[in-house]
Structure formats: C-alpha cells, structure tokens
Structure 1
Amino acid sequence: MIRHLVLFKLNDGVDREGDERVAAGAKAFEELGALIPELREWECGWNTTTRDIAYDFAINSLVDDRDALKAYLSHPAHQAAAAQWSEFATWVIADIEV
C-alpha cells in the first residue's frame, strides 16, 4: 500500500474565499475519490491552522501499489484537477509505503 500525501500552498495574492478558481479547484479534488477506482481512501480539505509555515489544502489518499498510483496520477480527472491548481498554487508530495 502507498499513502499519497499532497500539501498545497496558495500563491501570494490568491484569496481562498474570493477566488472562484480556488473554489473550483477544491471541488474538483473533492470529487476525485468517487471518480478514480484505484483510490482505496480519499480525504482532502482546507487546513485549519493559519501559522506562517502552514500549507493551505491537503490530500491524503491510499492506493494498493505503484501501478495504482500511476493509474491515479494519469487519470484524466486527476490531470484536470491538478491543472486547475497549477494556476494558483504550488505543492509538495510524499508517497509512503505502508
């Protein structure tokens, strides 16, 4: 099993509440859990911490193996959601074998 973690940081000047792209991007990620069969677990949401070092949005997911992770990453719905986020955020990832 592989735990796939992603932390997103909104770009400077991007307002979570006032930017329609952000709302659309969050909705796109919220819907992925039901769209991609390789995902065994899917959680995402806004960080409740406002510290300077905190990221803004997180994804926590679980897949069976590297092939399932590749299928998830290449899935058209994932590609479309990630493309939306690339317009207004940066991110870091970690893939942990569990």
Structure 2
Amino acid sequence: MFRHVVLFTWTEEATDEQKARVVAELGKLPGAIPEIRAYTLGADAGVNPGNHEFAVVADFDDVEDFLAYRDHPLHQAVIIEYIKPILASRAAVQFAFQA
C-alpha cells in the first residue's frame, strides 16, 4: 500500500465558504478516481497550537496509482480552482506501508 498525506494552512483572507468548497470538491474525488482505496480529510481539531489547518490522507495500492491520482485532471482542477487561491502553506509526504 502507498499513502499520501498533505497538510494545508489557509490564508487569513480565506472564508468559511471557500474552505467548505475545498472539502466538497475534494470529497468528490474518491467517486471519480478509481485508484483511490481510502480517502480521509478534515480540519484540524485545534488541540495543539501551531498545527496546519487541514489534512488529506489518501491510500493507494501502489506508487503508480498515487501518480494517477496526483495527475488526474479532476484532482488538478480542485488544486488550481479551490486550494491554491486560499493556500498559505503546504506540507506533504508519501510512504509505503503494510496494510
């Protein structure tokens, strides 16, 4: 299995509506990209100061399936249209794991 984890911090100007749209649009991807095996996303719980504000965890069978997701036109459209306009910072990691 192969896991992709991405963390976002939004700009101060980002509205609740824009953040909700990111959630809605990302939430459509598992139904549109068959390579996704598991997909979890959510806002930070606010327990620890200094955290990123939002996370996506996506699982795939292998690196090739991750690359198909990464480069998929619908995924790229969500990034360009909804994430980048309100993005202050991003961190990501990908790693293999045993299910």
Q: Please, what TM-score do these two structures have when normalized by structure 1?
A: 0.87
Label 1:13 to 1:51 Cα distance change in 2 as closer, same or farther (>3 A). farther
Does 1:92 pair with 2:91?
yes
| One-letter amino acid matched to 1:56 | E
Structure 2 unaligned runs (5+)?
none
C-alpha offsets along residues 29-51 of structure 1, whole Å, 9 cap, x if unaligned?
Answer: 11212211000111111111154
SS state at 1:92 partner = strand
- Provide structure 1 residue ranges, at least 5 long, that are not aligned to the other structure: none
User: Is 2:45 the counterpart of 1:43?
Assistant: no
Which position in structure 1 is the counterpart of 2:3? 3
Pairwise CA distance, 1:93:
0.6
Q: How does 1:54-65 map to 2 (within 5 A)?
A: 54-65=51-62
The CA deviation string for residues 40-78 of structure 1, in whole angstroms up to 9 with x for no partner, is: 111111111154311111101101111111100111111
Q: Distance in 2 between matches of 1:82 and 1:68?
A: 18
TM-score (norm: length of structure 2) = 0.86
Stretches of 4+ moved more than 6 A in 1?
none
- For residue 28 of structure 1, report the CA deviation from its aligned partner: 0.6
SS of equivalent residue, structure 1 residue 12: coil
